[in-house]
Amino acid sequence: MRMPYQRRRWELPDGDFLDVDEGQAEPGSPTLVVLHGLESSSRSSQVVGLLRAASRCRWRGVGVNFRSCSGTLNRLRRSYHAGDTADLAWVIQQVIAEHPGSAILCAGFSLGGNVLLKYLEEQADTVPRHLRAAVAISTPFDLAVSVRAIERGLSRVYMRRLLRGLTRKTLAKLERFPDLVDRRALCAVRTIAEFDALVTAPVHGFPSAAAYWAASSSGTALSRIARPTLLINAQDDPFFPGEALPRESVARNAYLSAEFPKAGGHMGFISGRSPGGATFWAVERAIHFLRDQLPPQDPRTASQTNHASRPTDPSP
């Protein structure tokens, strides 16, 4: 299935920009805003899978690229990070302005899931009424715990790949901002923790990596969330250990639901194969949850997905 999405550049108030992939839908159709993970993009298989599912529901899809993640380096010294919610808040207001009759649904993968949950926590009392529900998948609820996890075992393979992308972008920024960081120190970075200490924290105004992790972790204020929100994390996620999952927070907040299957890895959850490629249980589960939060009398919520069976837990 081809994705009939248009790449748009949205100019931000601070002089920077966001590139988004936006699909078309009938006026008044729900809009699904999707956030990707660290050093990923709106073209990742997980985001595309969710946007395709939204298209089948006849929803408008908006795949957001964080600053510098669309293939074009952003303009400012700063970039994006796990606790930066201002751009998501601006995107939601932009969607409301362009589609005032549209219900808004949100989903985030990994770092994007953390950003989404932080937004819901920080804006708990002022979340626009248009925003009906959210899903966060493979979220690193505690960034300090996640950083330690990614430095162990096979996770280091993924860490090195992420670091290559982060380092490459930072080196490119040095051409524009020579005083951004020390080039030699940057080339010597070997872990995400070291990168956060050298680049992420100081560039974004945090006194240390530890301060950045503490201020940006979504798991500390889940009790504030006041929109129906589904958390999907595998207990074998190499980026976030199963024993650290926020089960107590979920139990205390009626707005939170959780699916913590035993298996699924980090943004895996492959439940089968089809002629179009792999199918992902988490995507199916997310769509079902989000659809259930929309008014049942709206015919758009009962479109082509009504006949679909509910996804089953992939746990063994």
pLDDT tens for 205-225 read 999 999 999 999 999 999 999
Residue 31 lies in a domain: yes
Distance CA(80)–CA(209), nearest Å, equals 15
Residue 315 lies in a domain: no
Distance CA(182)–CA(7), nearest Å, equals 34
- Residue position matching structure tokens 């010597």: 188
Q: In 125-256, which residue ranges form alpha helices assigned H by DSSP?
A: 143-150, 155-176, 183-188, 192-195, 201-203, 209-216, 247-252
Q: Which of 216, 235, 270 is the last residue of a domain?
A: 216
Residue 234 lies in a domain: yes
Residue 310 lies in a domain: no
Q: pLDDT band at 156, cuts 50/70/90?
A: confident
Residue 316 lies in a domain: no
pLDDT tens-digit readout, 232-243: 999 999 999 999
Q: 62: which residues sit within 8 A by CB, 6+ positions away?
A: 20, 21, 22, 23, 31, 32, 33, 34, 91, 95
Is the pLDDT assigned to residue 90 strictly greater than 70?
Answer: yes
Q: How open is the CA angle 219-52-306, to the nearest 5 degrees?
A: 90
For 179-203, what is the mean pLDDT? 97
Residues 188 and 111 in one domain: no
Structure letter (DSSP) for residue 241: -
Lowest mean pLDDT among 11-20, 119-128, 149-158, 169-178: 149-158
Residues 23 and 102 in one domain: yes
Distance CA(194)–CA(185), nearest Å, equals 10
Nearest to 254, CA basis, from 220, 274, 228, 234: 228
Identify whether 182 is a catalytic site residue: no
Q: Give me the catalytic one of 81, 237, 249, 271.
A: 237
Contacts 24+ apart (CB under 8 A), 168-172: 169/68, 169/73, 169/79, 170/199, 172/73
Q: Give me the catalytic one of 40, 70, 79, 110.
A: 110
pLDDT tens-digit readout, 99-146: 999 999 999 999 999 999 999 999 999 999 999 999 999 999 999 999
In total, the chain counts a number of residues equal to: 316
Residues 234 and 137 in one domain: yes
Q: Give me the catalytic one of 36, 81, 130, 266.
A: 266
Q: What's the number of domains the chain is made of?
A: 2
Residues 130 and 255 in one domain: yes
Is the pLDDT assigned to residue 303 strictly greater than 80?
Answer: no
Residue 307 lies in a domain: no
Distance CA(253)–CA(135), nearest Å, equals 15
Residues 232 and 251 in one domain: yes
Identify whether 266 is a catalytic site residue: yes
197 by DSSP, 3-state: which?
helix
Helix (H) or strand (E) holding 20: strand 17-23
Residues 239 and 112 in one domain: yes
Residue 204 lies in a domain: yes
What Cα–Cα distance (Å) separates residue 212 from each residue in 143, 197, 215? 9, 9, 5
Q: Which of 198, 216, 234 is the last residue of a domain?
A: 216
Q: Which of 216, 245, 273 is the last residue of a domain?
A: 216
Residues 147 and 199 in one domain: yes
- Domain limits at 52? 5-142+224-302
Residue 64 lies in a domain: yes
Identify whether 237 is a catalytic site residue: yes
Q: Identify the CATH number of the domain in which residue 55 sits.
A: 3.40.50.1820
Residues 255 and 117 in one domain: yes
Residues 121 and 176 in one domain: no
Structure letter (DSSP) for residue 312: P
232 by DSSP, 3-state: which?
strand
Residues 23 and 123 in one domain: yes
Q: How open is the CA angle 64-126-293, to the nearest 5 degrees?
A: 65
Residues 208 and 273 in one domain: no
pLDDT tens-digit readout, 249-298: 999 999 999 999 999 888 877 654 454 555 679 999 999 999 999 987 54
* pLDDT for the residue numbered 86: 98
Residues 237 and 208 in one domain: no
* pLDDT for the residue numbered 277: 53
SS (H, E, C) 32-90: EEEECCCCCCCCCHHHHHHHHHHHHCCCEEEEECCCCCCCCCCCCCCCCCCCCCHHHHH
* pLDDT for the residue numbered 1: 40
